[in-house]
Amino acid sequence: MLRVMFRTLVIPLMGFVLLLGGSGVFAWSNHYLFNRAALEVLPEVANAPKVKVETLEDFLLKEKDGLIALMAQIENDAKITFAKSAPQPEPLAFKGGDAQTIRENFLRALRVNPKTPLGYFLQVMPGQPLPGKRTNPNSVSIFGEKDLKRDYVFYDIRKGDMVSPLEVLSTAGDEPDFGLDINLFNDNGEPIGKDYGFGTQSFGDPKLYYGTQAPFHIGYYHESGIIFLAAGFLKRTYPRYRVHQFTSLARYAFKTGHPYWGYRFLGWGLHYVGDLTQPYHARVLPTYGTMGMLWINIKAMMGFDKAKLEAIDRISSRHTTLERYHLTVISEAYAKKNMQHPFILSLKVVDKDKTYGVFSDQYLVDVLAKESYNFSDRFDTLIDEANLLKGFSDGNKLPELNQKALDELDSIIAQRFEGVGSHIRNYIRYGMN
């Protein structure tokens, strides 16, 4: 009888959670704006000597023999810990190549989208002059200007240029949003999806712009047991796998004398760390709870799906509006040279770094993602109380805002970013060790 009740009330919840999962695919917008502030107080990065720009092909050709062994080890580790449900298919194993083939062989072995441009560029802070030629958006993102809009400003760097590790790391922390994880599942309409072995997309909309990257940028590790029982696909998520891949490559690049790629790979891994600090990337539906989700689903089964549709819209709109609000406020602070803004100062608080412990794979889940999960209800509630959805539009504060609640929301954002700064630094220490 209990089993029948479970199947009747809970199993259909899978469709509901599937729609919710990845309803807002972006995490914090423009990671550079907080990466740089957090890292400029880390002496190992801020005081590091400049490094010479090297092409990806040059790095791969010089180190292909060692990389063959390293990447085999990365995937062996992943089979045990990080990607049990999606081991790398044997034909994709990295076997080197020549100047014409090695780049694509490498990217396919990593199971990222080989169409990602991976040009050579650095980002510029809002309000700062361009130090060089403005980068063509098609050198940055698969989607070009459609993707970057006005949120990012890049300038070109060239092979042989000497560049700051702080800038390389901070800039590279955005790159996984520019195409690396797009269309990698077999229902995403590209041949690589059938080759890569990730199967059908576990959650998020496989037909939406950017929706296909959701399982790589979200980590629902702390939902209730009944939710995981009903929606086991939520466990098929890959930020830990990506962090492991790119950290391993970064350490190898440092060890073999390729610091530019050491910092750039480390920045790629940093992106997933930053994504998991976003409360909406660690919790399916804040403030509802398990029983609330079940009740919404029961009503939908009875033909009353208004509450389900409202819940999906709720999570998506709050997620997007929070990111837009944070991006607008911190960008304006930089543009006005207001370096005392709480959103910036909070990132530089180093006192908490050691209290979190040493970074590891379990730190990513048990410390970082858990903290984001714990923040999620407060964020969600304050977005409502501040009336942010109606009071903030197109980067402008409107009369509908509740300023008292907005001040409290600003305070909780600053508090969250103290942790974000610590997690960024702890990860970089780990990756450079």
Say what the pLDDT of residue 377 is.
94
Say what the pLDDT of residue 408 is.
98
- Give the rounded distance of the alpha carbon of 7 from its chain centre: 34
Q: What is the pLDDT of residues 166-180, one digit of tens each?
A: 999 999 999 999 999
Phi, psi of 190 (to 5 degrees): -120, 145
Q: Are 287 and 375 in contact (CB under 8 A)?
A: no
Query: What kind and span of H or E run contains 398?
Result: none
**What are 74's two structure tokens?**
């990365």
Q: Which DSSP state fits 217?
A: H
Q: Which of 149, 205, 181 is nearest to 327 (CA)?
A: 149
- The percentage of the chain sitting over the pLDDT mark of 70, rounded to a whole number, equals 88
Which residue did the predictor score with more confidence, 145 or 381? 381
Confidence of residue 2 (pLDDT cuts 50, 70, 90): very low
Highest mean pLDDT (candidates 13-17, 76-80, 203-207, 351-355)? 351-355
CA distances from 140 to 128, 155, 232, 321 (A): 20, 10, 35, 25
Which residue did the predictor score with more confidence, 317 or 372? 372
Measured CA to CA, the distance from residue 216 to residue 193 in angstroms comes to 14
Given a cut of 60, whether residue 114 has pLDDT beyond it is: yes
Mean pLDDT of 327-345: 97
**What are 188's two structure tokens?**
């995403």
Say what the pLDDT of residue 5 is.
43
The CA-to-CA distance between both ends of the chain, in Å, stands at 55
**What are 20's two structure tokens?**
């919710």
**What are 275's two structure tokens?**
């994504």
Mean pLDDT of 126-140: 95
Which residue did the predictor score with more confidence, 19 or 369? 369
Say what the pLDDT of residue 313 is.
73
- Give the rounded distance of the alpha carbon of 233 from its chain centre: 19
Confidence of residue 3 (pLDDT cuts 50, 70, 90): very low
**What are 90's two structure tokens?**
């044997």
Average pLDDT, the chain: 90
Which residue did the predictor score with more confidence, 287 or 360? 360
Measured CA to CA, the distance from residue 243 to residue 270 in angstroms comes to 7
Given a cut of 80, whether residue 194 has pLDDT beyond it is: yes
Confidence of residue 302 (pLDDT cuts 50, 70, 90): confident
Measured CA to CA, the distance from residue 429 to residue 90 in angstroms comes to 33
Radius of gyration of the chain (CA): 21
Mean pLDDT of 35-42: 98
What is the pTM for the complete model shown? 0.93
Given a cut of 80, whether residue 1 has pLDDT beyond it is: no
Given a cut of 60, whether residue 46 has pLDDT beyond it is: yes
Given a cut of 80, whether residue 314 has pLDDT beyond it is: no
Confidence of residue 16 (pLDDT cuts 50, 70, 90): low
Given a cut of 50, whether residue 10 has pLDDT beyond it is: no
Read out DSSP for 326-377? HHHHHHHHHHTT-TT-HHHHGGG--TTGGGG----HHIIIIIIIHHHHHHHH
- Give the rounded distance of the alpha carbon of 28 from its chain centre: 8
Given a cut of 60, whether residue 203 has pLDDT beyond it is: yes
Given a cut of 80, whether residue 326 has pLDDT beyond it is: yes
Given a cut of 90, whether residue 23 has pLDDT beyond it is: no
For the chain, domain boundaries: 2-50+70-84+168-432
- Give the rounded distance of the alpha carbon of 395 from its chain centre: 23
Say what the pLDDT of residue 19 is.
52
Q: What is the pLDDT of residues 372-430, one digit of tens each?
A: 999 999 999 999 999 999 999 888 899 999 999 999 999 999 999 999 999 999 999 99
Other beta carbons within 10 Å of 160: 9
Number of H helices, E strands in the chain: 20, 6
Say what the pLDDT of residue 148 is.
82
Measured CA to CA, the distance from residue 403 to residue 392 in angstroms comes to 11
On the CB side of 410, CA atoms within 13 Å amount to: 15
CA angle (360 as vertex; 172, 251 as ends), nearest 5? 50
Given a cut of 70, whether residue 83 has pLDDT beyond it is: no
Confidence of residue 7 (pLDDT cuts 50, 70, 90): very low
Say what the pLDDT of residue 324 is.
93
Confidence of residue 304 (pLDDT cuts 50, 70, 90): low
Given a cut of 60, whether residue 18 has pLDDT beyond it is: no
How many residues in total does the chain contain? Answer: 433
Question: Which residue's structure tokens are 């760390």?
Answer: 273
Specify burial of residue 264 (Cβ count, 10 A radius: 0-12, 13-18, 19+).
buried
